[in-house]
Amino acid sequence: MLSRSEFDVMLALKKTPAASQRAIALRCGMSLGTVNAVVKSLVDRGLVEGGTLTAEGEDELSPYKVRNAVIMAAGLSSRMAPLSYECPKGVLKVRGEVLIERQIRQLKEAGIDDITVVVGFKKEEFFYLEDLFGVKIVVNTDYATRNNHATLFQVRDIIGNTYICSSDNYFASNPFERYVYDSYYAAVFEEGETDEYCLQTRGRDKRITGAVVGGSHSWVIMGHAYWTRDFTCDFMRFLSQEYHLTETVGKLWDDIFLEHADELRMYMRPYEKGEIREFDSLYQLQDFDPLFIENVASNVLDNICATLNCQRGDISNVKPIKKGLTNLSFYFECRGEAFVYRHPGAGTDEIINRQAETYALKIASDLGLDSSFVYEDPNLGWKISRYIPDCVSFDYGNDEHVGRALSLVRRLHESGADSPWSFDFYDEACKIESLLAAEDWSFPADFFEVKRKIERLVPLVRAGSGAPVLCHNDFYGPNILVHGDGLCLIDWEYAAMGDYGCDFGNFVAQGSGYSVERAKQAVPLYFGREATADEVFHLIACTAIVGWYWYVWAMHRELKGAPVGEWFYVWYRSAKDYAEAALSMAQAVGMPTTGAGALSYEEFVVLAQAEAKMRGTVHPESIDDASRDAVSARLCEDGLLADGAVTPRGLAALEPYRAKRAVLLAAGFGSRLLPVTVNTPKPLARVHGVRIIDRLIDAVMAAGIDEIYIVRGYLAEEFDQLLSKYPNLHFIDNPLFDQTNNVSSAVAACGHFERAYVFESDLFLTNSTLVSKYQYQSNYLGFPVERTDDWYFDADGEGVIECLAKGKDAPCWQMVGLSYWTAADGARLARDIPEVFERDDARQIFWDDVAIVRRPEEYSVHVRRCSPDDILEIDDFDDLRRIDPAYVVRHKDA
């Protein structure tokens, strides 16, 4: 092993063979006498001859040769807001050069060609470097959940005699060398106050012994590091031992090194001020490159300028805001006013309806509930708000704060404001649970036990919810700004029509710290009066359901690499504790909570008819008068009916039969409807001036169903026009629409068939009551005929379909393409439809064959009777002309 002096002299001679000893002394910072002694020793050992390294000298120097470089480029760099929201800091262009490109060129100039770039956030922005420079790209999948120690752990097998670099460093002159003697960390001297790592060293060689964050007049870590093979081996041993510890997750690699600095040998290498630059904020960049802010490509800055009618130079004092579990936000000032820019977080597009948020924000602004709102883009989700100064934290222990806040949200509920969107916390939790299951998420041990308790509460809550009102749906302390005598309710991401009790539930479940008894004491503050026992139960039960939603939501955030920390436990406890309390309250007053006692068909019909009458409509099914009277009497005795009206217990009994969603199969070409379908999908053709599909959607929404899916294929983009009238629609694209029969549309949508109506979308609906709020069993619409050339059913004496075929010269049921599927049958279809579709002989079948023809033993599907005039199928252009005379072409007489 060479001494440091020997290494320096040999390296000088390698770079400049036969250099004079005086030149070597100047280059190495040694005395002439020291150089003379070292050279003599090297010559005596056969390492130097004639002022040049011998072959033995080259071998002796080779262990110090730099093998490669790793550039860390995985992190978000949140302090560089807003630019880091759009692109990684390393690909920013500073003084005409991309930061990481400049660094790669400097490494290559030093003879280091083996370069690995470890990427994570917006990794695709770095892929071009592989072809441009021949670097290797490695993806760090843990970049969002761990600090940069995970980046180095990802490439631990290639580190050793390695430069460890950050993609965002700017080196005024090339700091890299081909040979390095020992591990070091670059440092610069800070004269004033700093929040960087201030190094502690000992000895003339400045071995690092520790560091403190923040200080003044100190050498601070800045720039690159170099790791020898020995250092790497020791460091990775410590990291491997500690990697899976919870406390390791947030640590920089620097932290792990400093904790073991006594055992890990690393030295400080000083650099002159200005030689190394790290850009931690937009304005550090602007100070270094005055033209940067004008030249950088940034949609965020463009959004601000367009909204506030300003220039980029008017934007100042940008500071990232750490608060918030969902989004990225930063503070900025513009021409003397302060604002906040909100950038949508990763994965939020799957669970947040930005159009609904924008709609609600405008209402909140008009009502004076949110004075901060300036603008939101309803499609992209970015938002600009006024910064409210001098706010104090909302205090759940301050009765004045609590009373004012609950009064504020009651004002929203009583405003009469309406929204096209709705939000059901339990249904939304189920959707997120489906997303998690699709990713093979490992649910906690008691997940389904708690879910069963929530499920028992859902029908009781819905029975007592009353008419939907506009709700904030994320109403809790951090979203309530207290400024003087005023309150400002912000963050309307989840706002939509819903159950008033869920705003109270959010208020309590999200970190209030309230016990159930304390929550009960707050209930009168919402109503502004004493509450009834039913009202108290309703709000406590809503708290459980809301807690459950956020608990499941937290799992989704974990899945997306954005853990929510202690909130996970807060929401879990809210769901579990308040569910148990609500179930105890329900049992105390005799509410059914076990799910037992399913309704008979006759009981169902009587209750459904009574509920429909309360809503001013009709339920299409009926039983004979004598049976109805006897059943009604029995239901009154059981407390499900009273004076002809459905009681809350009756509504709870009906809840398992409530239709939750609709799926409209609309992917086909509709060739028999030419020429109408040349430029228009068949469901969008107009009959009597109204699109065919509109009548179906209107009927679905009139039944209280707002979860609506449309499977599209042919001219798919044409369906976008529906969003202006029906903004809550969900589109599912079927890429196989022109290669298979409609079974491929069912494959695309079968995950939504539970408690769902499934429509063929070319049905001209004249009796909208056929789409009722409640359905008892899986069924198809049909009407009796003496014979038919069309598709028909045969059914047994109980109305269960036994046969599905085309054309019969005998009495049968003519099929109508409108079906309903219970939760159990919908789940079976989600399993069976894809399985059947994978068979070679099933690509051209109709999807209806799966339950009735292919696997009839699995299902009990009934015929639901309708009239031939209730719903008409438009198969061809002649059908269209018969229904709507406007399509009849009349020619002038010759």
Quick: pLDDT tens for 231-258: 999 999 999 999 988 889 889 999 999 9
Query: How many Å apart are CA 264 and CA 252, to the nearest integer?
Result: 16
Question: Taking a C-beta distance cutoff of 8 angstroms, is the pair 330, 341 a contact?
Answer: yes
Same fold, 393-584 and 661-882: no
Taking 50 as the threshold, does the pLDDT of residue 894 lie above it?
no
Q: Burial level of 809, CB count in 10 A (0-12/13-18/19+)? A: exposed
Handedness of CA 760, 761, 767, 768 (dihedral sign): positive
Mean pLDDT of 189-201: 92
| pLDDT (0 to 100) of residue 103 | 97
Q: What is the CA radius of gyration of the chain?
A: 35
Mean pLDDT of 660-665: 96
Question: Could you tell me the fold of the domain covering 4-61?
Answer: Arc Repressor Mutant, subunit A (1.10.10)
Q: What is the pLDDT of residues 725-751, one digit of tens each?
A: 998 899 999 999 989 999 999 999 999
Taking 50 as the threshold, does the pLDDT of residue 595 lie above it?
no
Mean pLDDT of 101-116: 97
Mean pLDDT of 763-772: 95
| pLDDT (0 to 100) of residue 351 | 60
State the alpha helices, DSSP H only, in 87-161.
99-109, 128-133, 149-154
Query: How many Å apart are CA 402 and CA 410, to the nearest integer?
Result: 12
Position with higher pLDDT, 342 vs 107: 107
Mean pLDDT of 65-74: 96
What one-character DSSP code corresponds to residue 375? E
Q: Strands, E, within 677-749: which ranges? A: 686-687, 690-691, 707-712, 730-733
Helix (H, G, I), strand (E, B) or coil at 204: coil
What CATH number does domain 68-282 carry, 3.90.550.10, 3.40.190.10, 3.20.20.70, 3.10.20.30? 3.90.550.10
Q: What is the pLDDT of residues 345-386, one digit of tens each?
A: 655 566 678 888 999 999 999 999 999 999 999 888 889 999
Query: How many Å apart are CA 304 and CA 81, to the nearest integer?
Result: 13
Residue type, 778: S
| Partner residues linked to 208 by β-bridges | 201
| pLDDT (0 to 100) of residue 75 | 84
- Which residue matches tokens 């209930």? 523
Report how far apart the first and last C-alpha atoms of the chain are (Å, whole number): 111
- Which residue matches tokens 């708690």? 450
| pLDDT (0 to 100) of residue 29 | 86
Taking 90 as the threshold, does the pLDDT of residue 459 lie above it?
no
Q: What is the pLDDT of residues 556-565, one digit of tens each?
A: 988 887 788 8
Architecture of domain 393-584: Alpha-Beta Complex (3.90)
Q: What is the pLDDT of residues 514-554, one digit of tens each?
A: 999 999 999 999 999 999 998 999 999 999 999 999 999 99
Helix (H) or strand (E) run with residue 553 in it: helix 533-559
State the greatest distance between any 2 C-alpha atoms of the chain, in Å, as a whole number.
122
- Which residue matches tokens 């069963």? 452
Concatenated DSSP letters of 622-670: ---HHHHHHHHHHHHHTTSEETTEE-HHHHHHHGGGB--EEEEEE----
Taking 60 as the threshold, does the pLDDT of residue 594 lie above it?
no
Question: Taking a C-beta distance cutoff of 8 angstroms, is the pair 10, 42 a contact?
Answer: yes
Query: How many Å apart are CA 462 and CA 771, to the nearest integer?
Result: 20
Instruction: Give the rounded percent of residues in the chain with a pLDDT score beyond 70.
Output: 95
How remote is the C-alpha of 307 from its chain's centroid? 26
Q: Please indicate, yes or no, whether the overall pTM of this predicted structure exceeds 0.75.
A: no
| pLDDT (0 to 100) of residue 446 | 94
Taking 90 as the threshold, does the pLDDT of residue 671 lie above it?
no
pLDDT band at 769 (very low <50, low <70, confident <90, very high): very high
Question: Taking a C-beta distance cutoff of 8 angstroms, is the pair 336, 325 a contact?
Answer: no
Handedness of CA 881, 883, 887, 893 (dihedral sign): positive
Q: Which of 781, 796, 643, 661 is nearest to 729 (CA)?
A: 661
| pLDDT (0 to 100) of residue 561 | 75
Instruction: Give the rounded percent of residues in the chain with a pLDDT score beyond 90.
Output: 71
Taking 90 as the threshold, does the pLDDT of residue 669 lie above it?
no
Taking 80 as the threshold, does the pLDDT of residue 448 lie above it?
yes
Query: How many Å apart are CA 586 and CA 457, to the nearest integer?
Result: 9
CATH code of the domain made up of 661-882: 3.90.550.10
| pLDDT (0 to 100) of residue 591 | 63
Q: What is the pLDDT of residues 24-44, one digit of tens each?
A: 998 888 899 999 999 999 999
Structure tokens at 710: 């449309």
Helix (H, G, I), strand (E, B) or coil at 791: strand
861-866-867 Cα angle (round to 5): 150
Taking 60 as the threshold, does the pLDDT of residue 597 lie above it?
no
Domain ranges of the chain: 4-61, 68-282, 393-584, 601-657, 661-882
Taking 50 as the threshold, does the pLDDT of residue 596 lie above it?
no
pLDDT band at 293 (very low <50, low <70, confident <90, very high): low
Mean pLDDT of 801-811: 96
Q: What is the pLDDT of residues 684-721, one digit of tens each?
A: 989 988 999 999 999 999 999 989 999 999 999 999 99
Question: Taking a C-beta distance cutoff of 8 angstroms, is the pair 867, 785 a contact?
Answer: no
Taking 70 as the threshold, does the pLDDT of residue 81 lie above it?
no
Q: What is the pLDDT of residues 121-173, one digit of tens each?
A: 889 999 999 999 999 999 998 887 789 999 999 999 999 999 999 998 999 99
Question: Taking a C-beta distance cutoff of 8 angstroms, is the pair 355, 419 a contact?
Answer: no
Considering only 74-88, 466-480, 813-827, which range has the smallest mean pLDDT? 74-88
Q: Which of 666, 680, 827, 817 is nearest to 733 (CA)?
A: 666
Give the list of residues 6+ apart from residue 290 with CB closer than 8 angstroms, or none: none
pLDDT band at 782 (very low <50, low <70, confident <90, very high): very high
- Say if strands 812-821 and 779-785 run parallel, antiparallel, or are unpaired: antiparallel
- CA distances (Å), 37 to each of 3, 8, 43, 338, in order? 13, 13, 10, 67
Query: How many Å apart are CA 258 and CA 483, to the nearest integer?
Result: 43
| Average per-residue pLDDT for the chain | 90
- Say if strands 801-808 and 52-53 run parallel, antiparallel, or are unpaired: unpaired
Structure tokens at 221: 């870590």
